[in-house]
Amino acid sequence: MGRENVDVDNLQITGAKPSGGPEASLSVHDEVIIVVNQAYGPDGDNIVGISDVTFDGYPAVTLLVRADGREEQVHLSPIHGDRRKVGMEGLPEGTKCELLCPVSHKPLPKVGRIGDSEAEYCAIYLTPKLDEGSMIYVSDTWDHHHSRIVDNNEMISMWVAAEIGDEV
């Protein structure tokens, strides 16, 4: 797998590497690339691989997104730190979105704000048990490239792209 699409400048591996194996929710490739193999909505519905969209051969993580009077599926790269996505083309950067499970159509659970950003985070579960200690935190703001992966109550990685104007 190439690293050309991964925002390595803003991706930090912050904790112990997740355990691998065919049934693992997360896997590590090339010692720095974290791939989400399993993800679940608020009712335990699988949201990985529900479409034929792939990124570097890995099935997409799919969300249902409502924003600006539109509702459609958005397919996210499962590679943490990869900005690629398919869906909602043309949505203006900074648009607040409602994030839902594409299967149940229920809203993703709110995690809240982190730091002083206006973005709120929503939870995608890494296990069908819906364990709050194993989640992906995704921003509800379009093109706000900040997310976190927590597994077994330990932050595994953090992707925080620099805000425009915050660069020194």
The whole-chain average pLDDT of the chain stands at 79
Residue 4 belongs to a domain = no
Residue 1 belongs to a domain = no
Range of the domain at 106: 11-160
Residue 167 belongs to a domain = no
List pLDDT tens digits, range 47-97: 999 999 999 899 999 999 999 999 999 999 998 888 899 999 999 999 999
Q: What is the CA radius of gyration of the chain?
A: 15
Cα distances from 136 to residues 47, 50, 91, 92, 126, in angstroms, run 13, 18, 23, 24, 7
Number of domains in the chain: 1
Token digits for 34?
Answer: 């974290």
pTM above 0.85, yes or no: no
List pLDDT tens digits, range 13-48: 544 545 555 555 655 555 557 888 899 999 999 999
With tokens 């805000």, the residue in question is 163
